[in-house]
Amino acid sequence: MTDRNRDRERRAEARLRGFKLHLLGYFLVVAVLAAINLLATPETIWFVWPMVGWGTVLAIHTAWAMGLFDILGGKD
């Protein structure tokens, strides 16, 4: 395995690790927000708005972690 391949593999592992942390944070925060919403103001469901907003960012992070932008950009 060449140094270039090792470096590429390390970057991919780091991206995946960062994505997993982002995903974990997303689920934890959404669960807390849902609990707060349903306990404090059950007549108004508002926790879906931060969930959708953050979910959009998470979807972009997913594409980046999977290397979609590398493929589109033509990077090695």
pLDDT digits (tens, 9 = 90+) for 22-32: 999 999 999 99
DSSP 27: H
DSSP 76: -
Q: What integer pLDDT is reported at residue 70 of this predicted model?
A: 77
The torsion region of residue 6 among left (phi > 0), alpha (psi -120 to 50) and beta comes to: alpha
Please give the Cα distance from 30 to 53 (Å, whole number). Answer: 11
pLDDT digits (tens, 9 = 90+) for 35-72: 999 999 999 999 999 999 999 999 999 999 998 887 76
Grade residue 2 by pLDDT with cuts at 50, 70 and 90.
confident
Q: Which of 6, 30, 8, 26 is nearest to 18 (CA)?
A: 26
Q: What integer pLDDT is reported at residue 20 of this predicted model?
A: 97
Q: What integer pLDDT is reported at residue 72 of this predicted model?
A: 67
